[in-house]
Structure 1
Amino acid sequence: MERVRQFFSAILAGMLIGMGGTVFLSQSNPVVGSFLFAIGLFTIVVFQLHLFTGKVGYTPFNKPVYLIELVVTWLGNLVGTWITATMVQNSRIYEGMAERVAGMAEVKLSDDFTSIFLLAVFCGMLMFIAVDCFRNVQGSTLRFIGVFVPVMVFILSGFEHVIANMFYFSLSGTWSAHCFAAILVMTLGNAVGGMLIPIYLKVFKQR
């Protein structure tokens, strides 16, 4: 039953990331779009939903069975992003963002896997910072900044977030064997980046 709960929690998290991606695509100003995208992560951490990029960083602090939770979370996030993408595709707002998301998907899928991995590592680091700040920093203003700023940085820098890209690829209808391989590379990069700071904290007994 717990795995079922985690799966449905992950679906909701995926849907929220998809909503963040939707509002980002609807904005012409990238700074405004990146700020509004962060509402997805903010809602996820407030309601303690399961997001792969928010949980993978805590792998070093957990037992090996935690990997099962990560897999369930990843799959739920995939389903959630697909649901949101399908809903948007069947709404009046899709026409206004179809060309833009297709261009984004083309850029990402034309990149080589080394570049994708490196960009995903940076994003993984920022996602851990965002989630951990919300968990541990005192004060509502600092927690708010701690969530929103790292998200804005990864979007404006062009770093690769695997769950956001699940949404973009679903919305643009560009799923293929190559696309799935790129998603796996992003997953690995986000995982590596997300664990860099936690490994440091664990090795040097900072936490």
Structure 2
Amino acid sequence: MKIIKTFVYGILAGVSIAIGGTVFLSLDNKVLGALFFTVGLFTVCTFGFNLFTGKVCYIFESDWKFALDLIIIWLGNFLGAWLTGEALRATRISSISEKAISMCQVKLSDSLMSIFILAIFCNILIFIAVDGFRNNPHVPGKYLAIFFGVTVFILCGFEHSVANMFYITMAGMWSGKSLLFILVNTLGNAVGGVLIPLLRRCFAKESLTARIRYS
């Protein structure tokens, strides 16, 4: 039952991010598109859905079984983003696929190293957003963390793996190359997501060691 819930919540997170991506593709103003894209992470955090890019940030706070959960979550995110993209391609708003095609042509022509680096920076901001929502004691602060984190990563052109699953589906550009792109994007997101948590853990241990040494 837990596996099913994890997977279904992963699907719902994928759908949520895809809805954010739909808003972004529908608006010509990039700033407004980036701002309203935040509806995706807002929904995920508010309803407790399972988004890979958010959950991976806490992999070192859990046991090895959490790594298996992350795989299930990633697959759920993929399915949710793919289903949303395919469904929208069958509607009257399928015209936004033209913008998706243009975006994906640029993304898929980029080098894997570039994608990896851009993905790292993306998830540094995602961590700031989800950790702010998780730990900020003030409700306005929780949601400001989401809105600033997401808006900034989009305006910077950083790469979010789940959003790109939707864009590639909307563009109808799935291939071996695009799958490799997503895998590299995912790896970069994972690295970026754990970067700040690992550094905090390292410095926390150093501080504890220093206190013990001089006590």
Please indicate the TM-score interval, normalised by the length of the shorter structure.
Answer: over 0.9
Following TM superposition, where does structure 1 have runs of at least 4 consecutive aligned residues deviating by more than 4 angstroms? Answer: none
**1:17 corresponds to 2:17:** yes
Within-5 A mapping of 1:70-81: 70-81=70-81
| TM-score, scaled relative to structure 1 | 0.97
CA contact (8 A) 1:52 1:70 kept: yes
Q: Distance in 2 between matches of 1:98 and 1:63?
A: 41
**1:94 maps to which residue?**
94
> Over residues 171-194 of structure 1, what are the superposed CA-to-partner deviations in whole Å (9 max), with x where a residue is unaligned?
101011111011010000000000
Note the C-alpha offset of 1:138: 1.4
Q: Distance in 2 between matches of 1:76 and 1:205?
A: 34
> Over residues 21-78 of structure 1, what are the superposed CA-to-partner deviations in whole Å (9 max), with x where a residue is unaligned?
0011000111100110001100100111000001001011111111000000000000
Number of residue equivalences: 205
Give 1:5's aligned amino acid. K
**1:172 maps to which residue?**
171
RMSD: 0.9
Q: Distance in 2 between matches of 1:166 and 1:94?
A: 16
The SS at the match of 1:159 is coil
CA contact (8 A) 1:35 1:152 kept: yes
Note the C-alpha offset of 1:205: 2.4
Structure whose residues are more often helix by fraction: 2
Q: Distance in 1 between matches of 2:162 and 2:38?
A: 13
**1:201 corresponds to 2:204:** no
In structure 2, runs of 5+ residues without a counterpart are 206-215
The SS at the match of 2:28 is coil
The SS at the match of 1:204 is helix
Give 1:88's aligned amino acid. L
> Over residues 88-122 of structure 1, what are the superposed CA-to-partner deviations in whole Å (9 max), with x where a residue is unaligned?
11111112x12111000000000000000000000
Structure showing greater Rg:
2
